[in-house]
Amino acid sequence: MIRAEDSRAEPKPSAPRANGFGIEGRRLPRLKGVISQHWHFALLGLVFGVLYAPVLKSLAADWVDDPDYGYGFLVPVFAAYALWSSRRRWRSPKFKPSSVGLPVILCGIAMLVVGSLGAELFLSRSSLLVILAGSVLYLFGGTVLGGTAFPLAYLVFMIPLPSIVYNQLTFPLQLLASRLAASGLDIAQVPALREGNMLILPNETLEVIEACSGIRSLMSLVALAIAYGYLAERRLWVRIALAALMVPIAVLSNAFRVFGAGALTYLLGPEWAHGFFHLFSGWLIFMTALLCMLLAHWVMKRGAVFLEKKANA
């Protein structure tokens, strides 16, 4: 007689059930560990968002409304790219947080408070960079701060200049542009009389207003030259020289634009100083300045290679 096998087998272990925190809550301790280790990041982010929401809103409004700073939207984008591209310099498993960063953060908060109470936009906006630098120093240490110094410093171009500095720059640039343009018209034998920032022609009087002072192209070209030097050049002295050269290039380009407007007004009529030509000439001069920057970089690069070969010979 064959006995039937005992149907009572040992129960197989049931598969672990998943819940909202992982398998049987096994990931819950890990999640708690992450939160306990990085709570200060979340706290700083929350404080940062609460403090700077109005500041960032007004800053973005200036980028939209003020043509002089329309490039401001691109500055944080490039800074983020530069930060990511240089991650090998600051990504280190051995961070050394520094308590020195805490006074820097407090200084930035004080700048924000004073700027908000005194309605000084530049001070309150600049405090953003101070708090960012202090936070990096406090959380990660001086080595990481050094590795992120360029992206943080580049953010200064997104902040409009204070009114007192802006006004001190624009009027001398207006006078310089009109003076250089008048000299060019004299060489071209175009009758013109300069009075301050005005060019008096036989058929029209042209005024070099603030918008034509060249400050817009000056700021944008310097910011662009620094970004270009960072991407295309490894020699520090060439990067500095490119940024410095953009100042005379921008000034001369704007003066040539005023000269062209005066010459065409005298030869073809006053309508050539306004409307489409005025806008088109701005873009044309801007592109010419960019070509001058590329040419200057090519010359400096060739010169640097020649000097290196001569030094190694």
Residue spans of the domains in the chain: they are: 36-158, 163-307
**pLDDT tens digits, 91-130:** 765 678 888 989 998 999 899 989 888 777 889 999 999 9
Q: According to the model, what pLDDT value does residue 12 have?
A: 52
Q: Which residue has the higher pLDDT, 273 or 142?
A: 142
pLDDT of 233 higher than 80: yes
Q: Copy the structure tokens of residue 229.
A: 């030097």
Q: According to the model, what pLDDT value does residue 35 have?
A: 47
CA distance 208 to 197: 5
Lowest mean pLDDT among 21-35, 138-152, 254-268: 21-35
**pLDDT tens digits, 276-313:** 777 787 788 889 899 999 999 999 888 888 777 777 76
CA distance 245 to 240: 9
CA distance 262 to 77: 38
pLDDT of 19 higher than 50: no
Q: Considering the chain, what is the average pLDDT of its residues?
A: 81
Q: According to the model, what pLDDT value does residue 13 have?
A: 52
CA 47 from chain center: how many Å? 24
Kindly indicate the confidence band of residue 11, based on its pLDDT and cuts at 50, 70 and 90: low
Q: According to the model, what pLDDT value does residue 76 have?
A: 93
- Which residues, other chains included, contact 211 with Cβ-Cβ below 8 Å and sequence gap of 6+? 67
Q: According to the model, what pLDDT value does residue 144 have?
A: 87
CA distance 228 to 125: 25
Strand partners, 112: none
Q: According to the model, what pLDDT value does residue 52 have?
A: 86
